[in-house]
Structure 1
Amino acid sequence: MAYSDRELLARLIQCEAGGEGDNGMRAVASVVMNRVHAPGGEYARVGQQSIRNIIYQQDQFTCLKTSLGGQPYMQNIYNMRPEQIHYDIADWAIAGNRLYNLGQALWFFNPYSETCPPYFPTTVGTFVVRIGDHCFYNPTDAYYST
């Protein structure tokens, strides 16, 4: 089944941040939309203003995987059943809204520790804020040459 951009984003929000509260879900949605509208670098080439291209870009979101380490991985967008809050946040992000403290964050991850590394990935992203269990990173100038 081909999902609409809204459906894809709602499913990704639920899968990646469903337990992170409204701001955690808004933060994930903001990262996706920041990638869609990135003015340069890898996401500008891949995204081409497309939510679908960003979400389906290979190896970007764990929630697109159906197996991890050779084992079935059931927490993926294909098994999500978004609720109204997930659609509302997807609509909010698609309309151009972003969390004010997130900056232009293009990456997030759960470090499974109390602290966030200063850089992610490598040196192209610098730590900006932690929301729930996720650390968020803004691009450096080095990112735009990727």
Structure 2
Amino acid sequence: MGTGVIPMAVINAPESHVKLLARLMRAEAEGEGPLGMLMVGNVGVNRVLGDCLDFRGIRNIWQMVFQTPGGFEAVQKSYFYQRAREKDIRLARKAVRGERYSPARYGLWFFRPVGPCPARWFGQPHSGRYKSHCFYIPSPADCPRVYKF
């Protein structure tokens, strides 16, 4: 696909950023299978789209992945720095094109608790659980851009 921007994407994403998102999705949720990885991709894309709350000023995937504070623990692990696999890149392209999956459809946060998902996390409501990950969404009033497409 070269180094161009993904066609019909909901966020601008050069191929290098798509590969970065693929690495993040794998590092955060490989054990959750393709759907779990796509949900992590949904959260990442929503953070770029949202320009709200903790993610104001995030304009691209690179800024989202390496945001400090508030980024992802996976970037501190060696497995994050493995080369992106083609199957993971295909999943990342789906996320960048706007394919969304519940409970991460409008999610901006997720985490893996030891037990049940709390009803709220840092004040945000729980939208659902997929396997080991709990997902949390902003209110439409706080982050309207996340809900627009």
Q: Identify the TM-score tier after normalising by the shorter chain.
A: 0.7 to 0.9
1:57 aligns with 2:59: no
Counterpart position of 2:87:
85
Q: Partners of 1:63 and 1:143 in 2: how far apart?
A: 27
1:128–1:138 contact (8 Å) kept in structure 2 = yes
Tell me the secondary structure at the aligned position of residue 139 of structure 1: coil
1:138 aligns with 2:137: yes
Shift of the alpha carbon at 1:100? 4.2
| Alignment RMSD (CA, Å) | 2.0
Q: Which runs of 5+ in 2 are unaligned?
A: 1-14, 144-149
Runs of 4+ in 1 over 6 A off after TM superposition: none
2:103–2:128 contact (8 Å) kept in structure 1 = yes
Shift of the alpha carbon at 1:39? 4.7
Identity of aligned residues (%): 33
Q: Partners of 1:12 and 1:140 in 2: how far apart?
A: 25
Tell me the secondary structure at the aligned position of residue 78 of structure 2: coil
1:49-95 superposed Cα distances (whole Å, 9 cap, x missing partner): x1111111014201111xxxxxxx433x21x2332221111010111
Tell me the TM-score normalised to structure 2 length. Answer: 0.77
Shift of the alpha carbon at 1:143? 5.5
Distance 1:39 1:132, change over 3 A: same
1:24 aligns with 2:36: yes
